[in-house]
Each structure stands twice: as C-alpha cells, then as structure tokens.
Amino acid sequence: MSAAVKLDAARFAPVSDVVCGFTRPGPDGGWLEACGRLTGPEDGPATVVLGGVSAGRRLIEDEDGPGWWPGVAGAGGALDPARRRLLSLDFIDAADPFPSVEDQADAALADATGLERFSIVGASYGGVIALEIAARAPDRVRRVDVLCAAARPNPMATAWRAIQRETVELAIAAGDPARGVDLARRLAMTTYRTHEEFTARFTDPDPKSRDAAGVEAYLAARGADYAGQTRPDRFLALSRSMDSADVAVEAITAPTRFFSASSDLLVPPADIEATVARMTDAKVERIDSLYGHDAFLKETRAVNAFLESAP
C-alpha cells in the first residue's frame, strides 16, 4: 500500500492518493498498478466510482481543476464526499497486449484501498468494470449502479471504435500521432451524441451563441482538447479493452440497477435489457434524453435522482 494525503484549499475535501497494485496472472502476467483517490469520511458508506475512458481519479473538483462528474460527484450531489467514502481510479493503460476489464477490476479490488465492503457506481467503460468487479468479488459488493453500459459491446460500437483505432495507427505511421487521436475523438463525439442535438445546435445557430462557428469547429475543438491530454497508446489500449469485454453477469449476486438513455447509440437500451435478463436481481430505468450516450454526464438531475433512489 502506498498513500499520500493531499490537503487542498479550505473549500476542497481532503483526499488520499493510493497505489492499487496486483500481480496479473497468466502468460501475460506481471505487476500492474493504478493510482486511486479516496475522499470522504472514513466511516462513511464506501462507494467505488468509475467513469468513461476520459475519467480518472480526480472525481471531485480540487485545486488542480474540476472533477470529471460535476453536478453528481461533489457537494450537494448524489456522490457527496460529506456523506460517502468515495474511491475513484485512473485506468490502467499499459499492459500487454492491453489492459482488460478484469485488470481494471483487480486494481479496484486491491488491498491498498482499505475497502472491504462497498457499493459501485460505474458509467460507460466504468460501468462494464463495475459489473466485472461485482462478478469477481460478490462477497464484497453491496450494490451496483450502472449507467449507459452493458455486459458486452454492441457490434456497431465496436465497428466505430475499430475505425478510430485504425485512424490513430495510420497517424502514428505517418509521424503525427496526435492528429490521429484528434480525428478519432471527433468521430467518437458523433457517436456519443444524437442527430437531434446536433440539428438543434448547428442548423442556423445564433451568431452570438457558442455554436456560431458550426459543427466542424465544435468537433475540431473537442478533438484538439482530447489529443492534448491523451497519449495515442493510451487511446488504443483502452479502446481495445472496451471491445474485449464480456462480463459473466450471472455471477453477480448484489442488487444491480441500470440507467439507460433511449437515444444511446453506443449502448442501445436493448443491450442493457439483455444484460438484465441474464441476472437474478437487476432492473433498469430508462430516460429520454437529447444527449445519447453522454446522458450520464449531461442529465445531472435524472442521474442524481437515480442514484439517490437506491435503497
């Protein structure tokens, strides 16, 4: 176990950073580790919180910047560090041939966290890992809340990600890897959101609005921002990890609830329903949303209500 306490400015909750390491079994075995962050009262109900591939251990805003789930994780949200003991993790992004969801689950289960029994909240890629944790350690998991995720990837989502990976690989070969990540992220944004949102925002936008420059400028900004933060090898590793997932959800014994969006193109509601049908204690709540897969990030009121309604 390795831990370092970081005392933020008065308005920030104290956090402890931990290194969650384990020995990976099998022929591709070896030592793997992920950096985690604990915040909230030590005697509070423990909750592991995992997000999409862009998420990390900075769940709650601190002096270095905003958390990845504003409006949900933080003061007044369903994941309030004044009420819960929260663990968030940076995903493992270096393993041969790539980190599996099983690897990510083992990091969350490492002894360094000090959490013996806990609930899990997982969204998108983190939702798949949440299911894997619950399947691997049923005696440690109290409850699972999964948002915009299913037990295995949809073939269309895999097709989109395959094109993104090849874009990055071509850019690496051409000597401009960041450009590949930029373009891959632009394509990804079109799968996260909906036709309806783009139509509303970018058909004759108000010249004074943030969308005045049009959809291409929007995608260029999102791509450049992501490429500035994400290494090409990390992008490829986590993309492959997503497409290799196939969780044995029949092994999950904890009560499990799913949150789905009717407009989600990446994880269609039918895939979530199929996952629920394989489980013994699971149910799903579906909402209508303009934001597709990103409903878990954009629909903060609905997400908070979903998480707060847990028994």
C-beta separation of 261 from 292 below 8 A: yes
124 carries an active-site annotation? yes
| Cα 99 off chain centre by | 15
Tell me how long the chain is. 311
Contact call for residues 36 and 87 (beta carbons, < 8 A):
yes
What are the phi and psi torsion angles at 285 (to 5°)?
-120, 125
* DSSP state string for 61-98: -BTTB--SSTTTBSTTSSB-TTT-EEEEEPPP---SS-
Catalytic option among 124, 239, 263, 289: 124
Given the residues 80, 264, 271, 294, the one annotated as active site: 264
User: Is 260 considered catalytic here?
Assistant: no
Tell me whether residue 264 is one of the annotated catalytic residues. yes
**What's 18's DSSP letter?**
E
Q: How far is CA 89 from CA 24, 173, 221, in A?
A: 18, 31, 26
Angle, in degrees to the nearest 10, between helices 177-192 and 155-173: 160
Q: What are phi and psi of 276, to 5 degrees?
A: -60, -40
Q: Which residues contact 74 (CB under 8 A, 6 or more apart)?
A: 60, 61, 67, 80, 81
Which residues is 85 bridged to in the sheet?
46
Catalytic residue among 119, 241, 293, 294: 293
Starting at the earlier edge strand, list the strands of the sheet with 30-39: 3-6, 15-24, 30-39, 85-89, 46-50, 118-123, 141-147, 256-261, 282-287
What residues are annotated to the active site?
124, 264, 293
